[in-house]
Amino acid sequence: MLTLLVVDAANVVGSVPDGWWRDRRGAAERLRDRLAAGAAGEVAGLPGPLDVVLVVEGRARGVEPVPGVRVEEAPGSGDDRIVELAAGAAAAGRPCVVVTADRELRRRVAEHGAECLGPRSVRP
């Protein structure tokens, strides 16, 4: 069973002050492309292949999926969608790793057995 790797796009993109706020969708697309480059091999130090999900919200909506990366548009809170994904993985007995630095989100997904990694695990 593939490990589910859920990436909090807003948190990861916002972790580096590189002008992402001028083009949130473009920043999320660049993150998606970095994730896709490693999806079949290794991402965030995890052996592949992985089931990679990038969760976007707000002005980052509209990012298209690419081979190796599924994109989930959160209808409301991105954090709530990430927790739903972690809970679904737990219900299926599937390993789940969430990439975020958000302490409250880390606490919420840990309640469902998800492991957490920081933004630097997927972003230089």
Give the pTM: 0.92
Instruction: Give per-residue pLDDT as tens, 36-62.
Output: 887 656 777 888 788 999 999 988 889
The mean pLDDT of 64-72, rounded to a whole number, is 94
Could you give the count of Cα atoms lying within 13 Å of 123 in the half-sphere of its Cβ?
Answer: 25
Confidence at residue 109, expressed as pLDDT on a 0 to 100 scale: 98
CA distance 53 to 65: 9
CA distance 78 to 82: 6
Using CA atoms, how far residue 117 sits from 26, 30, 56, 59, 63, in Å, is 23, 19, 18, 24, 23
Confidence at residue 29, expressed as pLDDT on a 0 to 100 scale: 95
How many other CB atoms sit within 10 Å of the CB of residue 90? Answer: 17
Confidence at residue 39, expressed as pLDDT on a 0 to 100 scale: 62
